[in-house]
Each structure stands twice: as C-alpha cells, then as structure tokens.
Chain A
Amino acid sequence: MIAIGARTAVIVPDAIAPRDLAVTFARYALLDRGSYEHAAVDDPALIARLAQLARDATGRALAVSEARLVRLVPGDYLLAHHDRVHEDFPIEVIADLSPAPVPGAEVHYRRRGQVFFRFPCTPGAASIVERGPTVTCNHTYVSKLHAGAQVVRLVALFR
C-alpha cells in the first residue's frame, strides 16, 4: 500500500518472521500522552532486516539511529502529541511483532492533523514511512472489548 501525503509510506507484508521476545517492559503512564509499555531492543538481526527494508524502499543509505519496543494491551494508546516532530526526514520502520491480529489497533500517520496512512495490526508486516516536520504519528486505543489482546511493535528510526 502506498499513501499520498509522504514521499515514502508503504506496508511490507510478511516482512519478518515471528520471534520470541525475552524482554522486560516498563510502563509509561503520563495518561494525557500515552498508556503503554516499552523496552529496549537487543536483536541486531531484526534491526538489520528493517534497515534493509528501509534502504530497499527509499534507495537511501540508512543506518539505525534509535529503536524501541512498545507493547499495548486493552486500554492502551499513544497520542499524537506524545510524538516528536522530525525536521530531517528520517525513515521510521515499524515491525509488527504481535502474537495475533487485534481489530482496530492501528498506527496512524498524520500530516497537519489529517490521517494519510494507516498501519493495521498485522503480525509479521512492517510499515516504512518517511517522517518530516509536518508528520506526526499515533497508536490507536486498544479496545477492552478484545480481552487478552496484545499489540507489540518495534519502532525504529533510520537516518
């Protein structure tokens, strides 16, 4: 899928193989910004795979500059004003490591507030989006109607 509104905004299905995550998450809870868990990433092979996807999609020479895991359970979310604006047009790659699809759990990219690209929860898929000064991102609320749901995403920036 390619979206109008960014020079690069694509979803790569089946981009990564399922993996067993042995990490300890910490909860973030400034609730007017987000409610989720986060952890550092220690998986060089996965980062290298995502870097290759980013290079293939953009044709740019890119190296990872930051990466983290986020986990959302029912009731969790990351709001757009919790996001950072990037002036230097890095490439953001999100790999979906969720154990199963969760209806309605999406990553939204917005340009001047309007959603131009959606990445639904799809285990194994990756989104590749060029960030910029007018682009923000939010992770939508995970409904409590989906008891036991779990959304796990690796969020990495490449420059």
Chain B
Amino acid sequence: MAGVFDRALRWDEDALARAWRAAQPFPHVVIDDFVASVDLVELLEAEPVEQYQADIYIFDASAPEPASEELRGLRDAFARTLAPLLSRITGKPVARADMRAFAYRPGHYLLPHADHQDGLERRLAFAYYLPTPEPPQGGELELFRCTPGATESALVIEPRAHRLVVFDVSDVSLHQVREVLGGLRLSLAGWFYP
C-alpha cells in the first residue's frame, strides 16, 4: 500500500491552509486527482458491505472496522501520509483515522447532520470518491450555513472520481449526501482523530 497517497506529499500546504481558513460555510478543502492510476476499487473487492438504515440514512457500507487486510492497509497508509499534512493545513492536530467503504445506489441518501458527538473526538471528516462504472446522478455533498432559526444550502460538491474533500467537524458543520437518483456513488470516508 506504500506510495498510493504520495501525491499528497507534493501539496502546496500554504495554499491549502489559506483555502481552509477562507472556506465557507465552514472550513473545508477540495482536492482533485488525489490518487492517480491505482485501482482502489479492485483492492476493495474482498471487503464485505451491508445495508445500513436509520431515520437519517440508507446506504451500503463496510463495517466500522475493516474486515479485509486490504482496507486496513489502505486506511493505515492514508492516515500515516495525511495526518501530518492535515494537522499543518487545518491547525487541528490529528494522528489516526478510521475509514469505511460506501456504496450509494439509487434511493440512498444521508440527510443533513453534523458529525460532532461528545466523547468521540472526531476532528476532521473526509470523503474520497472512487471511480465507478456508472457515475452517479445526484449524491453530491451539500454544505449548509447555520444561522439562528434557519439552515440554508451554501455549497454543493460533486462526487467526482479521485476527488478528496476534507471538512471541519463542529456543531455547525451541517452537511448531507443528496439522494442518488441513478448510477453508483462509491467512496471511502471517515474521520481523523487526535
């Protein structure tokens, strides 16, 4: 798994730090072509997924702790490479990450929520979009601006293949995955922790 994420080592950290601080409606960065020419989908073939459903979501996903050596190795390489960079870019010291594989099919969604939960120590959220045989219609990541008594859509980010999105975790970092209306949306997503 070594080297899969080495493109990150050539990031312009100062530019990304400025983008992070200036981003609206809350701190985030969008990085395209995050990984090149590596078939991560093939690496994930051994990872079992099942359907998860609650009042705010329905999607297929791997278990919180990866079952396969491949996904565990990918998660560890991702955290090892990105944690030092993201600590400097965001000013939030992070050291480890979790990672799950997600498959959103038509009718799947994740309704507006903030990832902050007392006691969980989530500092940064990430989503990395994988290439898919049928690019999704819908499935965008939508960020909301929270003001007293109201929430309004502020930014829509397309789930483009090889795009990495990192965003702040706080009480007001409200976001959703819009319903997928066609195709398949594949991603690796999770959080960074101290």
Residues of A within 8 A of B (CB): 29-32, 75, 77, 79-80, 104, 108, 138, 140-141, 143-145
Distance (whole angstroms) from the CB of B9 to the closest CB of chain A: 37
In this complex, how many residues of chain B approach chain A with their Cβ under 8 Å: the count is: 19
Distance (whole angstroms) from the CB of A30 to the closest CB of chain B: 6
Apart from the given pairs A143-B107, A143-B179, A145-B179, 14 other A-B contacts in the complex at a CB distance below 8 Å: A29-B151, A30-B150, A30-B151, A31-B111, A31-B112, A32-B113, A75-B179, A77-B111, A79-B55, A79-B56, A80-B55, A138-B55, A141-B58, A145-B106
Count A-B contacts at CB 8 Å.
40
In the assembled complex, B144 has its CB within 8 A of some CB on chain A: yes
Residues from chain B with Cβ under 8 Å of A31 in the complex: 111-112, 144, 151, 174, 176
Q: Which of B58, B111, B150, B151 contacts A79 (CB 8 A)?
A: B111
A-B pairs, top 10 by smallest CB distance, nearest first, are A31-B112, A138-B55, A31-B151, A32-B112, A80-B55, A79-B55, A144-B179, A143-B107, A32-B113, A32-B174
Q: Which of A32, A77, A80 contacts B151 (CB 8 A)?
A: A32
Alpha-carbon distance between A125 and B151 when the two chains are bound, in angstroms: 34
Residues from chain A with Cβ under 8 Å of B114 in the complex: 32
Cβ-defined contact, B111 with A141, below 8 A: yes
Q: Which of B56, B112, B151, B181 contacts A145 (CB 8 A)?
A: B181
Residues from chain A with Cβ under 8 Å of B149 in the complex: 30
Select the residue from A80, A108, A140, A145 with max chain B CB neighbours within 10 A.
A145
Alpha-carbon distance between A80 and B114 when the two chains are bound, in angstroms: 15
Alpha-carbon distance between A104 and B55 when the two chains are bound, in angstroms: 12
Q: Name the interface residues of B132-176: CB closer than 8 Å to any CB of A.
A: 138, 144, 149-151, 174, 176
In the assembled complex, B109 has its CB within 8 A of some CB on chain A: yes
